[in-house]
Structure 1
């Protein structure tokens, strides 16, 4: 039984949706100071980390590009001392940080599927309000929490709540106007290794 529990814990960490985050939340003042507003139309982007061998999903996250750009990373393991995080929301998500987030999860065993959905200003702001007020999510509830949030936004009410990232991804693929991209890296590191690599890239 002990071996099984250790194995399950390892799977959760590698997948990115089972990390135990003991770091304190950033202060509200830091959250306000970190706000980053990207130019262009408003979008929601669903990130799904997919196992290259089995095709199963390891993690779900949601980027909201509204009056500011944030990533709702429920039960996620992406942490960096320069990234402001509060209640499983990563603030200040500039294009460089978004790329670092993808790179942190893509490796020889996982790739990252990004599904960008065009939305109205009202939909984007509703999503922003929901993710920033949701609070931290328990391990393995990443897809469940994200689908529960989307269901509360007009135009996404038919999304079915699920615990399975790939089933969620398949639902998103049927929506009109979705732009899907896949990101691969062929390294053997884990999320923490990739974050360190991202730090070096951003400092150059």
Structure 2
């Protein structure tokens, strides 16, 4: 019991899981709508500490009738991406890469798992994320697992606070494809945010 309490306490100290209540206007959400040419899918992003392998944050990219990003209790933000609570609209390829780049750094990797789904299941996931609302601090894993567990084909996903437990169950789903994103950015990633928001010129490729 003592070990469980210690683990839960550590979860609430994770820097990747802070929360805000935000509600973008209808016009901004409609204007940002992005329809990806890729097949419908659900992608789980897990931020994993390089040393020790602990999961620090969970997020979901859902590609259905539009592509959105559910980042419960997350801190990523871009002015071109309207947000309603923890759901971000207009996730183009550039914004997807910005999200990954924000989290991948010298002490954290981003592990990506993508599972193909029907358009109906993807849109059901979007609705569940819209209905969930803003997550409480450190409830990123709990929120992601709630959205997933209610979907056909995702019944094996546990309801959990722990990102790694969710990731391991997601990895076992039929058709799951894995990719690991590694970056050497410093832990203080304010420079990454400035480039993403256009406040300073982006470095040459």
Q: TM-score category by the smaller chain? A: 0.7 to 0.9
Q: How far has the Cα of 1:28 moved from its partner? A: 2.1
| 8 A Cα contact 1:100 1:198, kept in partner | yes
User: 1:193–1:69: structure 2 CA closer, same or farther, 3 Å change rule?
Assistant: same
User: 1:55–1:72: structure 2 CA closer, same or farther, 3 Å change rule?
Assistant: same
Residue 23 of structure 2 is aligned to residue 21 of structure 1 = no
Paired residues for 1:25-174 under 5 Å:
25-174=23-172
| 8 A Cα contact 1:104 1:190, kept in partner | no
User: 1:131–1:190: structure 2 CA closer, same or farther, 3 Å change rule?
Assistant: farther
| 8 A Cα contact 2:19 2:134, kept in partner | no
User: 1:42–1:193: structure 2 CA closer, same or farther, 3 Å change rule?
Assistant: same
> Which runs of no fewer than 5 residues in structure 1 stay unpaired?
1-7
* Structure 2 CA distance for aligned equivalents of residues 29 and 57 of structure 1: 36
TM-score (norm 2): 0.87
Tell me the alpha carbon deviations over residues 67-124 of structure 1, each in whole angstroms, 9 at most, x when there is no partner: 0000000000001222211120111000000000000000001010010110011111
> Which runs of no fewer than 5 residues in structure 2 stay unpaired?
1-9
| 8 A Cα contact 1:78 1:191, kept in partner | no
| 8 A Cα contact 1:102 1:183, kept in partner | yes
RMSD: 2.2
Aligned twin of 2:14:
12
Aligned twin of 2:5:
none
Q: Which runs of 4+ in 1 moved over 4 A?
A: 8-11
Q: Which of the pair is proportionally richer in helix?
A: 1
Tell me how many residue pairs correspond in the alignment. Answer: 193
